[in-house]
A = this chain, B = another copy of it.
Amino acid sequence: MEARNSWRFVLLLALVLLLTWLHLPSLPNSKFHSRWYIPKNTFYSSSPTYHHLESETPQHPLDPLTIQEFNRVRTILSSHPLFKSSSSYTLNSVVLEEPDKKLVLKWKKGDPPLPRKASVVAVVKRVSHVLTVDLEIGHVTSHETGLVSGYPMVTERDLYGVGEATLRCPEFNNSLAKRGLNLDDLVCLSLSSGGYEKLEEEENRRLMKVQCFSKEGTVNFYMKPIEGFTALVDIDSKEVLAVSDDGKNIPVANASNTDYRYSIQKLRGEMRLLNPISLEQPKGPSFSVDGHMVKWANWEFHLRPDPRAGIIISQVKVRDPDTSMLRNVMYKGFVSELFVPYMDPTEDWYFRTYIDAGEYGLQSMPLNPLNDCPRNAYYMDGVFASYDGTPYLQPNMICIFESYAGDIAWRHAEATVASLNVSEARPKVTLVVRMAAILENYDYIMDWEFQTDGLIRAKVGLSGILMVKGTTYENMDQVNLKRQETAPGESPRKSYLKAVRKVAKTEKDAQIRLQLYEPYEFHVVNPLKKTKVGNPVGYKLVPGATAGSLLDPEDLPQKRAAFTNNQIWVTPYNKSEQWAGGLLAYQSKGDDTLQVWSNRDRGIENKDIVLWYTIGFHHIPCQEDYPIMPTVSSSFDLKPVNFFERNPILAVPPNFEEDLPASKAHDSA
């Protein structure tokens, strides 16, 4: 019998995007007709550039740590007792410790730099430590441990070390040999164990599960899992604690039609559907990037790569056309956590409840120029610390580009009084900031999109490869998701999601009332600041399509990912409450999460607040997702509501033929 790769499970994917709001400022009283122009480009290239990063110095209090600063952190830590006395430790996270918000808000270009600090999370002798390193005075100024459960993100060394240890394990190798598998063909993935507290092995040690795949005949080894066969490994001691082999020896799928590379497709005959199409800007782009400051049209913000959140956007400001002043919109915005519980309660699958940002970090490979981003894109590199604190470069991690899809920013034609001869329309051009986080098989495309009318869209796209399960054949029909309880002892998971079938048999069966009959709008306003007409200034959150988690609230992964219990949360600003699944999410007990903070029920009225929004996807795979998934997206918007006195893009000109590129679109038609 040949094993079929069919898909019995449902993937629930929930991201929370954290947005910190400022008290929205008032409109200045002075009103004058002023205009502004496209900023001068200080950096721009159509092909990736590598800066002289070694000599880089921070230009802004929120700039990420520089190579020099990473090296200084290493030097300072090497003389700290915690690290001096231990021959084995990992620095799981070394990032900028942001100065206090009020200092950052006060700081202006030209001011003396604010003191620089690094926040370090390390594992030493199986224990998590959180330290602050003051780069000015050259000392560790804060050191905490044992306050909350859990461990930091794993390092690359953790992942590789676990894989190597597994392949050296005789029991593991015997099982492989019994299945007739060749070690050289294998790829073994180190998977977060999910942190099920009832498993005794998980107490006080960092664990990983290992599953292997065959890369024989394809780069798409995800399609060739060695099923029913996992190892449990201690990350720190590299000890293989258990090898689980269900003995079913489900054969590995064959490699045919799994490779997605162009080089392979070309051999089989490529499918050229389209003539080339490109976004062209004959006068160059309309944005500038100066260090980490981005200026475009009426927007200005600080942008930095982050090893956990991917992209952090700060001090987002928009220019008011009435006063030509920049106004604060959002202090900080980033993806706080990402929860991916696979919906399969069996031994080899129940633990797959990834909390990706906190367990692995939203890491990126270099973006593919011309294909991940259009030709008019600018690329920004990331500099991060490896497990021992050595800095390394993540090139082309973020791209920034202007997007024009042919859409309309606003329009009206006057049909009622045709003699007025009115037909006005303005093209919609946006600025996109993008990264693509790769979490093994899955690719998450994260976009922050800015519109000239003041709207900010946060969009998440899913692509990449499904994690398939070798199983006996089962196909799908119309589906109806609902929670499925497991029988006692059946699985460590209390509940899961199962696609069950419901066929609409009559017209009335198909009269389905979506549960959207309690319409709300969610506004963030500053009641102390009003427009001239007297409306409090604000922004509203416009949710997009989303999905809730159907896990049992008592399941430990759900406790950790309790941010998925609501789509919207609001908390008072607290600099330390940043990671919805906890700073130390790995195997945590859920004692340091958004749910825990929010349960304190603190006041939020007339406070500096944090808005949390959860985007969700239920992904029920289908054949079109094989061998690589077409992108599926969801988004939400932050839209100005009585923030401006009127439509802020009323005065922008339309497109004129003479402004567009000289090459005619149809010169070969």
Residues of B within 8 A of A56 (CB): none
Contact A533 B4 (CB under 8 A): yes
Q: Cβ of A184 < 8 Å from any Cβ of B?
A: no
Known contacts A284-B665, A370-B657, A417-B215; is-contact A445 B604 (Cβ 8 Å) = no
A283 touches B275 (CB 8 A): yes
A276 adjacent to B269 (CB under 8 Å) = no
Q: Is the CB of B41 within 8 A of A424?
A: no
Contacts of A436 in B (CB 8 A): 408, 411, 413
The chain B residue sitting closest to A506, CB to CB, is: B601
* Nearest CB in chain B to that of A517: its residue: B548
Contact A519 B550 (CB under 8 A): yes
A582 at interface, CB cutoff 8 A: no
Minimum distance in angstroms from A358 CB to a CB of chain B: 18
Chain B residues with Cβ below 8 Å from A285 are 275, 665-666, 669
Please give, as numbers and ranges, the residues of chain B lying within 8 Å of A514 by CB-CB distance: 543, 546, 548, 567-568
Q: A412-B465, A548-B519, A669-B285 are in contact. Are A605 and B403 (CB under 8 A)?
A: no
Residues on B with beta carbons closer than 8 Å to the beta carbon of A669: 41, 44, 284-285
Whether a CB of chain B sits under 8 angstroms from the CB of A113 is no
Residues of A contacting B: mostly:
loop
Is A387 interfacial (CB 8 A cutoff)? no
Contact A507 B602 (CB under 8 A): yes
Contact A663 B280 (CB under 8 A): yes
Contacts of A371 in B (CB 8 A): 408, 411, 425-427, 654-655
Complexed CA–CA distance, A104 and B172 (Å): 63
Any chain B CB within 8 A of the CB of A488? no
Q: Contact at B280–A44, with CB atoms within 8 Å?
A: no
Asked if residues B570 and A427 are in contact (CB atoms below 8 Å), the reply is no
The answer to the question of A147 belonging to the interface, with a C-beta cut-off of 8 Å to chain B, is no
Contact present for A624 and B601 (CB under 8 Å)? no
**Interface-side segment among A30-38, A70-78, A133-141, A346-354:** A30-38
Q: Check if A476 is an interface residue, CB within 8 A of chain B.
A: yes
Are B368 and A660 interface neighbours, CB within 8 A?
Answer: no
Q: Report the minimal beta-carbon distance from A128 to chain B, rounded to whole angstroms.
A: 25
On whether the beta carbons of A271 and B365 are closer than 8 Å, the reply is: no
Closest residue of chain B to A626 (Cβ to Cβ) is B646
Q: Which residue of B lies closest to A428 (CB)?
A: B631
A471 to chain B, nearest CB (A): 12
Residue-wise interface mask of A (510-534) relative to B, using a CB-CB cutoff of 8 A (1 in contact, 0 not):
1111111111111101010011011
**A199 close to B (CB within 8 Å):** no
B667/A481 in contact, CB under 8 A: no
In the assembled complex, how far is the CB of residue A343 from the closest CB belonging to chain B, in whole angstroms? Answer: 12
> Which residue on B lies nearest to A548, using beta carbons?
B517
Cβ distance A659 to chain B, nearest Cβ, rounded Å: 4
Question: Are B627 and A650 touching (Cβ within 8 A)?
Answer: yes
Q: With A428-B631, A512-B520 known to touch, is A46 a contact of B664 (CB < 8 Å)? A: yes
Our pick among B281, B370, B376, B521 for the contact of A655 (Cβ within 8 Å) is: B370
Residues of B within 8 A of A644 (CB): 623-624
| Known A-B contacts A273-B652, A276-B283, A631-B411; A641 and B663 likewise in contact (beta carbons under 8 Å) | no
Give chain B nearest CB distance to A344 CB in angstroms.
17
Cβ contact within 8 Å between B508 and A601: yes
Residues from chain B with a CB closer than 8 A to the CB of A170 are none
The answer to whether A88 has its CB under 8 Å from any CB of chain B is: no
Q: A422 in the interface, Cβ–Cβ < 8 Å?
A: yes
Alpha-carbon distance between A366 and B649 when the two chains are bound, in angstroms: 23
Given B271, B368, B649, which contacts A413 in the complex, CB threshold below 8 Å?
A: B368
A598 and B411 contacting across the interface, CB-CB below 8 Å: no
A510 to B453, CA, bound (A): 27
Stretch at the interface among A116-124, A224-232, A258-266, A302-310: A258-266
Q: Give Cα distance in the complex from A663 to B662, angstroms.
A: 9
Q: Which B residues touch A257, using CB under 8 A?
A: 646
List, in ascending order, chain B residues with CB within 8 A of A366's CB.
413, 423
Closest B residue to A455 by beta carbon equals: B630
Residues of B within 8 A of A340 (CB): none
| A536 nearest in chain B by CB position | B477
- Inter-chain contact A654/B370, CB cutoff 8 Å: yes
Q: Assuming A273-B286, A374-B406, A631-B428, is B507 touching A414 (CB within 8 A)?
A: no
- Of B261, B286, B476, B478, which one neighbours A424 at CB under 8 angstroms? B261
Which of B262, B407, B627 lies in contact with A647, CB distance below 8 A?
A: B627
Return chain B residues, CB-CB under 8 Å to A152: none
Does B281 contact A280, Cβ atoms closer than 8 Å? no
Q: Is B410's CB under 8 angstroms from A438's CB?
A: no
25 A-B residue pairs with CB within 8 Å? A45-B666, A46-B664, A257-B646, A260-B647, A272-B652, A276-B660, A277-B376, A279-B404, A280-B280, A368-B654, A370-B654, A377-B406, A404-B405, A411-B436, A477-B523, A477-B536, A479-B521, A506-B602, A511-B569, A511-B598, A517-B550, A519-B550, A623-B642, A624-B648, A627-B647
Closest 10 CB pairs of A and B: A515-B515, A510-B570, A284-B669, A405-B405, A371-B425, A276-B659, A271-B651, A273-B297, A374-B406, A365-B413
